[in-house]
Amino acid sequence: MLGIHAYWLFLSTGIVLNLTPGQDTMFIIGRSLVGGRRSGVAAAFGIAVGTVFHTLAAALGLSMILATSARAFAAVKLLGAAYLIYLGARLIVQKSALAVDSPASKGTATARSSFLQGIATNVLNPKVALFFLAFLPQFIDPASTTKTTAFLALGGTFITTGLIWCLVLATAASRLQGFFSRNVGARVALGRTVGALFVGLGLRLAWSRSAQ
β-pair partners for 100: none
Kindly state the average pLDDT of the residues 7-27: 82
What type of residue sits at position 87? Answer: L
- What was the pLDDT predicted at 190? 63
What type of residue sits at position 115? Answer: F
- What was the pLDDT predicted at 177? 66
Domain membership of residue 108 (yes or no) is: yes
What type of residue sits at position 2? Answer: L
Would the pTM of this model clear 0.75, i.e. be above it? no
Q: Range of 152's domain?
A: 21-207
Domain membership of residue 165 (yes or no) is: yes
Domain membership of residue 141 (yes or no) is: yes
Whether 164 shows a pLDDT value over 50: the answer reads: yes
Radius of gyration of the chain (CA): 18
Domain membership of residue 6 (yes or no) is: no
Whether 181 shows a pLDDT value over 80: the answer reads: no
Number of domains present in the structure of the chain: 1
Domain membership of residue 3 (yes or no) is: no
Domain membership of residue 12 (yes or no) is: no
Whether 129 shows a pLDDT value over 90: the answer reads: no
Kindly state the average pLDDT of the residues 7-26: 82
